[in-house]
Amino acid sequence: MTELELKDEALKQLVDAFYARVRADADLGPIFNDAIDDWPEHLEKLAAFWSSVMLASGRYKGQPVPAHLKHRSRITPALFDRWLALWDCTTNEMMAPDAAAALQAKAKRIAESLQLAMFFRLDR
């Protein structure tokens, strides 16, 4: 497979491939499939998110923390590890090595901050 550079088109392909795997995953799949009705819209949103994160495009205007807090009763730290493992596989397979490494590092940091927000807040 060709290794993709960090560009909007590549990020859309990456997001599509990643969520196809997530949906097929025995542990992660049911959470996403229950939560998301409009998959094309979700995939556009996630491509915009990664475009904002990696290319500073400002295309994503959303609030990831409340979106995940809604599903707090079903999401565990172990599922974050699974999510990150799938992300690492997919980025390694599809992206040029530098791009894959940068995407993996970003996802790891975002996963850490989401988990802090979800599991370690003292004010609730």
Binding residues for ligand HEM, rule: CB under 6 A, are 28, 31-32, 35-36, 45-46, 49, 62-64, 67-68, 70-71, 75, 79-80, 83, 107, 110-111, 114
Q: Shortest approach of ligand HEM to residue 30 CB, angstroms?
A: 10
- CA 76 to chain centroid, in Å, comes to 15
CA distance 26 to 32: 11
- If the CB atoms of residues 46 and 94 are measured against ligand HEM, the closer one turns out to be 46
- If the CB atoms of residues 2 and 29 are measured against ligand HEM, the closer one turns out to be 29
Angle at 106 between CA 17 and CA 33, to 5 degrees: 40
CA distance 62 to 118: 17
- If the CB atoms of residues 2 and 23 are measured against ligand HEM, the closer one turns out to be 23
